[in-house]
Amino acid sequence: MEQARKLDPTKMKDWEVAAEAEKTMKTVYQLAEELGLEKEELLPYGHYLGKLDYQKIMKRLGSKPDGKYIEVTAITPTPLGEGKTTTTMGLVEGLGALGKKVSGAIRQPSGGPTFNIKGSAAGGGISQCVPLTDFSLGLTGDIDAITNAHNLAMVAMTARIQHEFNYGDKTLEKKHLKRLNIDPRNPAIGWAIDFSAQALREIIMGLGGKMDGFMMKSGFQITVSSELMAILSVASDLKDMRERISKMVVAYNKKKEPVTCGDLEVDGAMTAIMVKTLNPTLMQTVEGQPVFVHAGPFANIAIGQSSILADKLGLKVSDYHVTESGFGADIGFEKFWNLKCRYSGLTPNASVIVATIRALKMHGGGPKVVPGKPLDRAYTEENTELVKKGLENLLKHIETVKKSGIPAVVCINHFYTDTDKEIEVVREAVKKAGARVAVSKHWQFGGEGAKELAEQVIAACEEKPDFKFLYTADTPHKDRIARIATEVYGADGVTYSPLAEAKLKKVQEDPNLAPMGTCMVKTQLSLSHDPELKGAPKGWILPIQDVLIYQGAEFIVPVAGGIKLMPGTASDPAFRRIDVDVETGKVTGLF
């Protein structure tokens, strides 16, 4: 930790800070020992990484009282970045600096943003998760396993279509196959790959002869949006994961009935590929506190939460456990609140909303920010009027968190260009809104810089939360969507395409589907469905274009606007700057 405090992120790139910190980081054996774990509960992947045997640990510690449960969310994202993962790591370091036994949980980064614009999502400055290269490039293989399991389901489905088309019933019977009559025009899923590959959004496959498959339209989604990632996020144990995979719908037959992984008899093999994914990966902050990495990002097109398993584990081995949700409170926190907490049965003690002065200025109508181009002076010089105008976005997110009954703490993630007057404008508004507020300099100073934030979070955890869901489990999905749209997003109402209307009617009439959770798909760049609308837009209607059914995860997924499950790669992607030192084998350029 002392070595970490000597690092100066103002003169070093994030990957350089990580590289220096890695020279003195703890071994995974030290981390496990400090957590009070037994030898057989740690599954090492080298000296500095390891998976944790969740079922063994919970069998031993299941009756132990839980620690305090803290969630981290943010205002609506901007290209300037709010530093949510950085703040998560900084808060863990800050609680550690105050002598608390603490752990964190973050999501494994997707290859899509790592090699594109956003970067790795390990945090930044002194508040990072290390080792950075392992974290960024595959880690312990969870996303690869999900990719393979997802695509095995597609192999099973497309092969069955081909064979049923080519064989008569007697031949199928000899092979012990039941004719499923899959409709090739109505698949439920496509293929998965963990890159932002817009060219694969829509494809035609099966070109060639009779032995080359059945020609049909298909496409790819990014792996972290796969239903299998959602299943990993909410599964309670291996048995539960196996049952959920069995129920996952991959296609529909010609009577429009669902065809599942169980029907294709591929569920067992998919579970076999994913067995090891059930165990969270143990890592550490730059200052040596334990971090559990489990499940994936993208709360705009997925649940986007650290897993329930990682959180339950952290609450047993720590006095304070900090977990991260994806993007802003309108989608990340809303799903944490109404989905994750409903599935886990856990009650949070506090929620941290991350904001920056720069991002508030953009929400206040500041000049457009283009990645890679110099910032306008409006973002680097004092402008309290822009900050005041941008506060409506922050205040809307505070209102959302307070609606849940969880105490809210606003973290002003400090930049050196922030002025005292700008910070005071935010402090006064937040206090008036009934939330706690702290300025945190964790990016530059790690735990020492996060002490004010940690103290406010500790105080919030002493309050008694009056936790309540936005809707009950028996609320119809249309009513849930309306409540989320109007009370969380600020819409005036909701419209439905004929396709979405028909699917929701079918869902509500099916007693097996109606009780499922509602997992919204919406742009992260605005409270609305339109990425161009900043602040807290007024006078708009949320358009629901489609409804997906994730029968295994038990999610009904309304899709708002024109959002895609496969992002695109930009013209100046991060992979242009990533390289390897051929003398040492060290990876450079990750951020």
Domains of the chain, by residue range, sit at: 2-141+277-461, 477-560
Angle, CA of 128, 132 and 135, to the nearest 5°: 105
What pLDDT score was predicted for residue 286? Answer: 97
Local confidence band at 371 (pLDDT 50, 70, 90 cut-offs):
low
pLDDT in tens, 510-567: 999 999 999 999 999 999 999 999 999 999 999 999 999 999 999 999 999 888 889 9
Residue 3, pLDDT > 60, answer no
pTM over 0.85: yes
What pLDDT score was predicted for residue 477? Answer: 97
d(CA 506, CA 484): 21
pLDDT in tens, 199-241: 999 999 999 888 888 899 999 999 999 999 999 999 999 999 9
What pLDDT score was predicted for residue 105? Answer: 98
pLDDT in tens, 67-125: 999 999 999 998 877 899 999 999 999 999 999 999 999 999 999 889 998 778 889 99
What pLDDT score was predicted for residue 337? Answer: 98
Of all residues in the chain, what percent carry a pLDDT higher than 70? 99
d(CA 36, CA 475): 43
What pLDDT score was predicted for residue 171? Answer: 86
- Position with higher pLDDT, 479 vs 166: 479
Angle, CA of 39, 41 and 44, to the nearest 5°: 80
Residue 399, pLDDT > 80, answer yes
The tokens of 327 are what?
Answer: 């993007």
pLDDT in tens, 287-310: 999 999 999 988 888 899 999 999
Q: Fold for domain 477-560? A: Formyltetrahydrofolate synthetase; domain 3 (3.10.410)
519: left (phi over 0), alpha (psi -120 to 50) or beta: beta
d(CA 296, CA 230): 9
Residue type present at position 208: G
68: left (phi over 0), alpha (psi -120 to 50) or beta: beta
Arithmetic mean of pLDDT, 462-473 = 95
Residue indicated by tokens 């959302």: 400
Mean pLDDT of all residues in the chain?
Answer: 94
What pLDDT score was predicted for residue 374? Answer: 85
The tokens of 373 are what?
Answer: 């181009």
Residue 383, pLDDT > 80, answer yes
What pLDDT score was predicted for residue 1? Answer: 52
Q: Does domain 2-141+277-461 have CATH number 3.65.10.10?
A: no
Arithmetic mean of pLDDT, 243-263 = 97
What pLDDT score was predicted for residue 591? Answer: 77
Known catalytic residues are 84, 86, 107, 118, 299, 327, 415, 443
d(CA 308, CA 346): 9
